Amino acid sequence: MTMPPTSVPSGRRIRVGVLGATGAVGQTFIRQLNEHPWFEVTAVAASERSAGKPYAEAARWLEGALPPGVARLTVVECDPSHVDADVVFSALDSSVAGEVEAAFARAGRLVLSNAKNYRMESDVPLVIPEVNAPHLALLETQRKRRGWSGGIVTNANCAATVAAVALAPLHEAFGVKQVFVTTMQAISGAGYPGVPSLDILGNVIPYIGDEEPKIERELNKMLGRVSRHGIDPAPFVVSAHANRVATENGHLVCLSVACQRPVSAEEALHVLHAWRGCAEARGLPSSPDLPLAVSEEPDRPQTRRDVHAGRGMTVTVGRVRKDPLFDVKLVALGHNTVRGAAGGSILNAEVLVSTGVIASR
Protein backbone atom coordinates (compact mmCIF):
# COMPACT_ATOMS: atom_id res chain seq x y z
CA MET A 1 0.00 0.00 0.00
CA THR A 2 1.51 3.29 -1.01
CA MET A 3 -1.17 5.70 0.03
CA PRO A 4 0.25 8.90 1.46
CA PRO A 5 -0.82 9.31 5.05
CA THR A 6 -1.35 13.05 4.87
CA SER A 7 -4.40 13.30 2.67
CA VAL A 8 -7.62 11.38 2.34
CA PRO A 9 -7.51 9.18 -0.72
CA SER A 10 -10.45 11.01 -2.23
CA GLY A 11 -9.29 14.46 -1.23
CA ARG A 12 -11.95 15.46 1.29
CA ARG A 13 -11.99 14.88 5.03
CA ILE A 14 -14.50 12.35 6.25
CA ARG A 15 -17.13 13.54 8.71
CA VAL A 16 -17.04 11.56 11.93
CA GLY A 17 -19.07 11.60 15.11
CA VAL A 18 -18.23 10.52 18.63
CA LEU A 19 -20.89 8.72 20.68
CA GLY A 20 -20.46 9.12 24.42
CA ALA A 21 -18.34 12.15 23.65
CA THR A 22 -18.30 13.74 27.09
CA GLY A 23 -16.80 10.79 29.02
CA ALA A 24 -13.14 9.97 29.41
CA VAL A 25 -12.92 7.65 26.40
CA GLY A 26 -14.96 10.08 24.31
CA GLN A 27 -12.51 12.82 25.18
CA THR A 28 -9.60 10.62 24.17
CA PHE A 29 -11.27 10.11 20.79
CA ILE A 30 -11.57 13.86 20.38
CA ARG A 31 -7.94 14.38 21.38
CA GLN A 32 -6.71 11.67 19.01
CA LEU A 33 -8.87 12.95 16.13
CA ASN A 34 -7.68 16.54 16.53
CA GLU A 35 -5.91 17.61 13.33
CA HIS A 36 -6.39 14.14 11.88
CA PRO A 37 -5.58 14.34 8.17
CA TRP A 38 -8.53 12.20 7.06
CA PHE A 39 -11.24 12.68 9.69
CA GLU A 40 -13.07 15.72 10.95
CA VAL A 41 -15.23 15.61 14.07
CA THR A 42 -18.56 17.08 13.00
CA ALA A 43 -20.84 15.62 15.67
CA VAL A 44 -20.58 14.94 19.38
CA ALA A 45 -23.35 12.88 20.92
CA ALA A 46 -24.06 12.12 24.54
CA SER A 47 -26.88 11.53 26.96
CA GLU A 48 -30.09 13.52 26.98
CA ARG A 49 -28.77 15.50 29.91
CA SER A 50 -25.93 16.97 27.87
CA ALA A 51 -27.81 17.38 24.59
CA GLY A 52 -28.35 20.97 23.51
CA LYS A 53 -25.32 22.34 25.35
CA PRO A 54 -22.10 23.45 23.72
CA TYR A 55 -19.53 20.67 24.10
CA ALA A 56 -17.20 22.91 26.09
CA GLU A 57 -19.91 23.30 28.69
CA ALA A 58 -21.25 19.74 28.68
CA ALA A 59 -17.86 18.07 29.17
CA ARG A 60 -15.52 18.43 32.08
CA TRP A 61 -12.40 18.39 29.91
CA LEU A 62 -9.72 16.35 31.59
CA GLU A 63 -6.40 16.62 29.81
CA GLY A 64 -4.57 19.12 27.63
CA ALA A 65 -6.37 21.73 25.54
CA LEU A 66 -9.89 21.18 24.21
CA PRO A 67 -9.77 21.57 20.39
CA PRO A 68 -11.68 24.80 19.66
CA GLY A 69 -13.57 23.32 16.70
CA VAL A 70 -15.09 20.69 18.95
CA ALA A 71 -15.61 23.05 21.88
CA ARG A 72 -18.15 24.95 19.82
CA LEU A 73 -20.15 21.94 18.61
CA THR A 74 -23.57 21.49 20.18
CA VAL A 75 -23.97 18.11 21.84
CA VAL A 76 -26.73 16.00 20.30
CA GLU A 77 -28.48 12.85 21.44
CA CYS A 78 -27.14 9.44 20.42
CA ASP A 79 -29.64 9.05 17.61
CA PRO A 80 -28.64 8.57 13.97
CA SER A 81 -31.06 11.24 12.85
CA HIS A 82 -29.26 13.86 14.93
CA VAL A 83 -25.70 12.80 14.22
CA ASP A 84 -24.42 14.29 10.99
CA ALA A 85 -21.51 11.97 10.25
CA ASP A 86 -20.81 8.92 8.10
CA VAL A 87 -18.61 7.17 10.58
CA VAL A 88 -19.10 7.12 14.32
CA PHE A 89 -16.66 6.21 17.05
CA SER A 90 -18.48 4.72 20.00
CA ALA A 91 -17.26 5.39 23.52
CA LEU A 92 -20.61 4.36 24.92
CA ASP A 93 -21.06 2.47 28.14
CA SER A 94 -22.05 -1.14 27.57
CA SER A 95 -25.37 -0.49 29.29
CA VAL A 96 -26.55 1.52 26.27
CA ALA A 97 -24.12 0.58 23.50
CA GLY A 98 -26.11 -2.48 22.41
CA GLU A 99 -29.16 -0.67 21.12
CA VAL A 100 -27.56 2.57 20.09
CA GLU A 101 -24.81 1.02 18.00
CA ALA A 102 -27.30 -1.23 16.21
CA ALA A 103 -29.46 1.80 15.40
CA PHE A 104 -26.52 3.56 13.80
CA ALA A 105 -25.50 0.47 11.81
CA ARG A 106 -29.05 0.04 10.61
CA ALA A 107 -29.09 3.69 9.58
CA GLY A 108 -26.13 3.12 7.32
CA ARG A 109 -23.35 4.34 9.55
CA LEU A 110 -20.15 2.53 10.18
CA VAL A 111 -19.66 2.19 13.92
CA LEU A 112 -16.15 1.76 15.35
CA SER A 113 -16.86 0.58 18.86
CA ASN A 114 -14.95 0.30 22.09
CA ALA A 115 -17.88 -1.27 23.90
CA LYS A 116 -17.88 -4.94 24.73
CA ASN A 117 -21.43 -5.66 23.54
CA TYR A 118 -20.76 -6.95 20.03
CA ARG A 119 -17.17 -8.09 20.36
CA MET A 120 -17.91 -11.78 20.57
CA GLU A 121 -20.72 -11.87 17.98
CA SER A 122 -19.78 -14.29 15.24
CA ASP A 123 -20.34 -11.76 12.45
CA VAL A 124 -18.67 -8.77 14.10
CA PRO A 125 -14.95 -8.13 13.52
CA LEU A 126 -12.84 -7.72 16.66
CA VAL A 127 -9.78 -6.10 15.21
CA ILE A 128 -6.25 -4.91 15.90
CA PRO A 129 -5.23 -4.24 12.31
CA GLU A 130 -1.63 -5.41 12.61
CA VAL A 131 -2.86 -8.63 14.17
CA ASN A 132 -5.95 -9.55 12.21
CA ALA A 133 -6.92 -7.02 9.56
CA PRO A 134 -8.38 -9.82 7.42
CA HIS A 135 -11.14 -10.20 10.03
CA LEU A 136 -12.64 -7.00 8.62
CA ALA A 137 -14.03 -9.18 5.85
CA LEU A 138 -16.70 -10.24 8.36
CA LEU A 139 -18.33 -6.88 7.80
CA GLU A 140 -19.77 -8.16 4.55
CA THR A 141 -21.32 -11.18 6.28
CA GLN A 142 -22.66 -8.93 8.99
CA ARG A 143 -24.36 -6.62 6.54
CA LYS A 144 -25.95 -9.47 4.69
CA ARG A 145 -27.07 -11.38 7.73
CA ARG A 146 -28.45 -8.38 9.58
CA GLY A 147 -29.64 -6.37 6.61
CA TRP A 148 -27.60 -3.39 7.73
CA SER A 149 -26.26 -0.87 5.27
CA GLY A 150 -23.76 0.32 7.85
CA GLY A 151 -22.02 -1.98 10.32
CA ILE A 152 -20.12 -2.49 13.52
CA VAL A 153 -16.39 -3.04 13.92
CA THR A 154 -15.10 -3.50 17.45
CA ASN A 155 -11.77 -3.23 19.11
CA ALA A 156 -10.76 -5.34 22.06
CA ASN A 157 -10.51 -4.88 25.77
CA CYS A 158 -7.49 -2.73 26.55
CA ALA A 159 -5.52 -5.40 28.42
CA ALA A 160 -6.40 -8.06 25.84
CA THR A 161 -5.08 -5.71 23.15
CA VAL A 162 -1.66 -5.47 24.75
CA ALA A 163 -1.46 -9.23 25.18
CA ALA A 164 -2.69 -9.89 21.64
CA VAL A 165 0.03 -7.79 20.04
CA ALA A 166 2.68 -9.57 22.10
CA LEU A 167 1.26 -13.02 21.34
CA ALA A 168 0.56 -12.54 17.63
CA PRO A 169 4.15 -13.10 16.42
CA LEU A 170 4.51 -16.17 18.64
CA HIS A 171 1.20 -17.61 17.50
CA GLU A 172 2.00 -17.01 13.85
CA ALA A 173 5.41 -18.64 14.18
CA PHE A 174 4.87 -21.45 16.65
CA GLY A 175 1.18 -21.84 17.44
CA VAL A 176 0.34 -20.81 20.97
CA LYS A 177 -1.11 -23.56 23.15
CA GLN A 178 -1.42 -22.13 26.68
CA VAL A 179 -1.08 -18.65 28.14
CA PHE A 180 -0.87 -17.31 31.65
CA VAL A 181 -1.34 -13.58 31.81
CA THR A 182 -1.22 -11.31 34.84
CA THR A 183 -2.05 -7.67 34.26
CA MET A 184 -1.14 -4.51 36.16
CA GLN A 185 -3.57 -1.96 34.77
CA ALA A 186 -3.59 1.83 34.98
CA ILE A 187 -6.32 3.87 36.60
CA SER A 188 -7.27 5.58 33.35
CA GLY A 189 -8.69 2.25 32.23
CA ALA A 190 -11.60 2.81 34.59
CA GLY A 191 -12.61 6.16 33.09
CA TYR A 192 -13.44 9.28 35.04
CA PRO A 193 -14.17 9.69 37.93
CA GLY A 194 -13.36 5.97 37.92
CA VAL A 195 -11.16 4.64 40.68
CA PRO A 196 -11.42 6.61 43.96
CA SER A 197 -8.00 7.71 45.11
CA LEU A 198 -8.63 6.19 48.56
CA ASP A 199 -8.90 2.81 46.85
CA ILE A 200 -5.63 2.88 44.93
CA LEU A 201 -3.08 5.22 46.56
CA GLY A 202 -0.29 2.97 47.88
CA ASN A 203 -2.43 -0.04 47.04
CA VAL A 204 -2.99 -2.86 44.58
CA ILE A 205 -6.54 -4.06 43.88
CA PRO A 206 -6.36 -7.61 42.55
CA TYR A 207 -9.73 -7.41 40.84
CA ILE A 208 -11.28 -5.56 37.90
CA GLY A 209 -14.91 -6.39 37.27
CA ASP A 210 -15.44 -8.69 34.25
CA GLU A 211 -11.88 -8.10 33.01
CA GLU A 212 -10.50 -11.61 33.28
CA PRO A 213 -13.27 -13.27 31.22
CA LYS A 214 -12.81 -10.64 28.51
CA ILE A 215 -9.10 -11.30 28.30
CA GLU A 216 -9.64 -15.06 28.35
CA ARG A 217 -12.05 -15.08 25.40
CA GLU A 218 -11.09 -12.10 23.23
CA LEU A 219 -7.55 -13.33 22.64
CA ASN A 220 -8.82 -16.49 21.00
CA LYS A 221 -11.10 -14.61 18.63
CA MET A 222 -8.48 -12.04 17.65
CA LEU A 223 -5.81 -14.62 16.97
CA GLY A 224 -8.32 -16.86 15.16
CA ARG A 225 -8.60 -17.40 11.40
CA VAL A 226 -11.21 -16.29 8.93
CA SER A 227 -13.08 -19.32 7.63
CA ARG A 228 -16.22 -19.92 5.69
CA HIS A 229 -18.26 -19.77 8.88
CA GLY A 230 -16.74 -16.63 10.33
CA ILE A 231 -13.80 -16.79 12.68
CA ASP A 232 -12.31 -20.05 13.87
CA PRO A 233 -10.95 -19.07 17.25
CA ALA A 234 -7.32 -19.81 18.03
CA PRO A 235 -7.31 -23.09 19.93
CA PHE A 236 -5.30 -22.05 23.00
CA VAL A 237 -6.40 -21.66 26.60
CA VAL A 238 -5.82 -18.46 28.54
CA SER A 239 -5.78 -17.95 32.29
CA ALA A 240 -5.88 -14.29 33.36
CA HIS A 241 -5.24 -12.44 36.63
CA ALA A 242 -6.25 -8.76 36.40
CA ASN A 243 -4.93 -6.17 38.85
CA ARG A 244 -5.34 -2.42 39.22
CA VAL A 245 -2.22 -0.48 40.24
CA ALA A 246 -1.42 3.18 40.87
CA THR A 247 -0.21 4.12 37.40
CA GLU A 248 -1.83 6.76 35.19
CA ASN A 249 -1.65 5.23 31.72
CA GLY A 250 -0.33 1.93 30.44
CA HIS A 251 -1.31 -1.67 31.04
CA LEU A 252 1.64 -3.92 31.83
CA VAL A 253 1.16 -7.67 31.39
CA CYS A 254 3.31 -10.61 32.44
CA LEU A 255 2.94 -13.55 30.10
CA SER A 256 3.95 -17.20 30.25
CA VAL A 257 3.43 -18.93 26.92
CA ALA A 258 3.42 -22.56 25.90
CA CYS A 259 3.60 -23.34 22.18
CA GLN A 260 2.75 -26.31 19.98
CA ARG A 261 6.41 -27.27 19.94
CA PRO A 262 9.31 -26.38 22.25
CA VAL A 263 10.42 -22.80 21.67
CA SER A 264 13.53 -21.18 23.13
CA ALA A 265 13.78 -17.61 24.34
CA GLU A 266 16.12 -16.89 21.45
CA GLU A 267 13.63 -18.15 18.88
CA ALA A 268 10.88 -16.12 20.51
CA LEU A 269 13.04 -13.00 20.55
CA HIS A 270 13.82 -13.50 16.91
CA VAL A 271 10.20 -13.59 15.77
CA LEU A 272 9.25 -10.70 18.08
CA HIS A 273 12.02 -8.57 16.60
CA ALA A 274 11.05 -9.46 13.06
CA TRP A 275 7.30 -9.00 13.30
CA ARG A 276 5.73 -6.08 11.43
CA GLY A 277 2.07 -7.12 11.43
CA CYS A 278 -0.44 -7.16 8.59
CA ALA A 279 0.48 -5.02 5.61
CA GLU A 280 -2.97 -3.39 5.64
CA ALA A 281 -2.04 -1.57 8.85
CA ARG A 282 1.14 0.06 7.65
CA GLY A 283 1.65 3.61 6.51
CA LEU A 284 -1.64 4.96 7.83
CA PRO A 285 -1.91 8.22 9.75
CA SER A 286 -2.09 6.45 13.11
CA SER A 287 0.36 3.63 12.33
CA PRO A 288 3.40 3.63 14.56
CA ASP A 289 6.80 2.94 13.05
CA LEU A 290 6.70 -0.38 14.83
CA PRO A 291 3.56 -2.00 16.20
CA LEU A 292 5.80 -4.04 18.49
CA ALA A 293 9.12 -2.88 19.92
CA VAL A 294 11.47 -5.23 21.73
CA SER A 295 13.59 -4.03 24.65
CA GLU A 296 16.57 -6.08 25.68
CA GLU A 297 17.33 -4.12 28.84
CA PRO A 298 16.86 -6.27 31.93
CA ASP A 299 14.16 -4.13 33.54
CA ARG A 300 12.02 -2.88 30.69
CA PRO A 301 9.30 -2.22 29.60
CA GLN A 302 8.22 -0.02 32.48
CA THR A 303 4.84 1.62 32.58
CA ARG A 304 5.74 5.27 32.97
CA ARG A 305 8.88 5.11 30.88
CA ASP A 306 7.61 3.17 27.86
CA VAL A 307 3.91 3.99 27.60
CA HIS A 308 4.41 6.76 25.05
CA ALA A 309 6.37 4.62 22.56
CA GLY A 310 5.08 5.28 19.05
CA ARG A 311 2.87 8.05 20.43
CA GLY A 312 1.01 5.39 22.42
CA MET A 313 0.49 3.03 19.47
CA THR A 314 3.54 0.80 19.97
CA VAL A 315 3.40 -2.17 22.32
CA THR A 316 6.78 -2.77 23.98
CA VAL A 317 7.88 -6.23 25.05
CA GLY A 318 10.90 -7.23 27.07
CA ARG A 319 12.33 -9.73 29.50
CA VAL A 320 11.87 -12.54 27.00
CA ARG A 321 13.27 -15.52 28.85
CA LYS A 322 12.86 -19.23 29.43
CA ASP A 323 9.84 -20.33 31.45
CA PRO A 324 10.38 -23.27 33.81
CA LEU A 325 6.86 -24.54 33.13
CA PHE A 326 5.94 -23.33 29.66
CA ASP A 327 8.22 -22.17 26.87
CA VAL A 328 8.82 -18.48 27.37
CA LYS A 329 8.06 -15.73 29.83
CA LEU A 330 7.87 -12.10 28.75
CA VAL A 331 6.49 -8.71 29.74
CA ALA A 332 4.41 -6.45 27.47
CA LEU A 333 3.24 -2.89 27.89
CA GLY A 334 0.79 -0.81 25.88
CA HIS A 335 -1.09 2.45 26.24
CA ASN A 336 -4.57 1.53 27.34
CA THR A 337 -6.50 4.59 26.18
CA VAL A 338 -4.54 5.02 22.94
CA ARG A 339 -3.58 1.61 21.48
CA GLY A 340 -6.10 -0.12 23.72
CA ALA A 341 -9.06 2.17 23.00
CA ALA A 342 -9.42 5.33 20.93
CA GLY A 343 -6.23 5.02 18.89
CA GLY A 344 -7.06 1.42 18.06
CA SER A 345 -10.54 2.34 16.83
CA ILE A 346 -9.18 5.13 14.69
CA LEU A 347 -6.58 2.84 13.14
CA ASN A 348 -9.39 0.41 12.34
CA ALA A 349 -11.23 3.22 10.60
CA GLU A 350 -8.12 4.18 8.67
CA VAL A 351 -7.77 0.64 7.35
CA LEU A 352 -11.39 0.77 6.23
CA VAL A 353 -10.72 4.05 4.43
CA SER A 354 -7.55 2.79 2.79
CA THR A 355 -9.34 -0.35 1.58
CA GLY A 356 -12.25 1.64 0.26
CA VAL A 357 -14.90 0.41 2.68
CA ILE A 358 -15.25 3.93 4.01
CA ALA A 359 -15.36 6.48 1.25
CA SER A 360 -15.38 10.22 1.60
CA ARG A 361 -18.35 11.89 -0.05
Query: Would you give the DSSP letter of residue 325?
Result: S
Active site residues: 158, 251
Per CB under 8 A, which region of 26-34, 45-53, 146-154, 294-302 contacts its own copies?
294-302
CA angle 38, 40, 45 (to 5 degrees): 140
Cα 183 to Cα 140: distance, rounded to the nearest angstrom: 35
| Binding of its own copies by 194 (CB under 8 A) | yes
| Binding of its own copies by 195 (CB under 8 A) | yes
- Can you say whether the dihedral through the CA atoms of 289, 292, 297, 301 is positive or negative? positive
| Binding of its own copies by 89 (CB under 8 A) | no
Per CB under 8 A, which region of 137-145, 161-169, 188-196, 345-353 contacts its own copies?
188-196
Cα 258 to Cα 66: distance, rounded to the nearest angstrom: 46
Cα 272 to Cα 173: distance, rounded to the nearest angstrom: 10
Under DSSP, is residue 148 helix (H, G, I), strand (E, B) or coil?
coil
- Site size with its own copies, rule: CB under 8 A: 54
Kindly tell me which residue out of 95, 324, 356, 361 binds its own copies, with binding defined by CB under 8 A: 324
Under DSSP, is residue 360 helix (H, G, I), strand (E, B) or coil?
coil
Kindly tell me which residue out of 34, 47, 243, 360 binds its own copies, with binding defined by CB under 8 A: 243
State which residue, 43 or 222, has the beta carbon closest to its own copies.
222
Cα 217 to Cα 179: distance, rounded to the nearest angstrom: 12
State which residue, 9 or 175, has the beta carbon closest to its own copies.
175
Residue 156 near residue 119, CB atoms below 8 Å: yes
Please state, as a whole number, how many other Cβ atoms lie within 10 Å of the Cβ of residue 145: 13
| Binding of its own copies by 103 (CB under 8 A) | no
State which residue, 11 or 193, has the beta carbon closest to its own copies.
193
State which residue, 85 or 238, has the beta carbon closest to its own copies.
238
Contact residues for its own copies (CB under 8 A)? 24, 62-63, 178, 180, 182, 184, 187-188, 192-207, 216, 237-239, 241, 243, 245-248, 252, 254, 256, 298-305, 318-319, 323-326, 329, 331
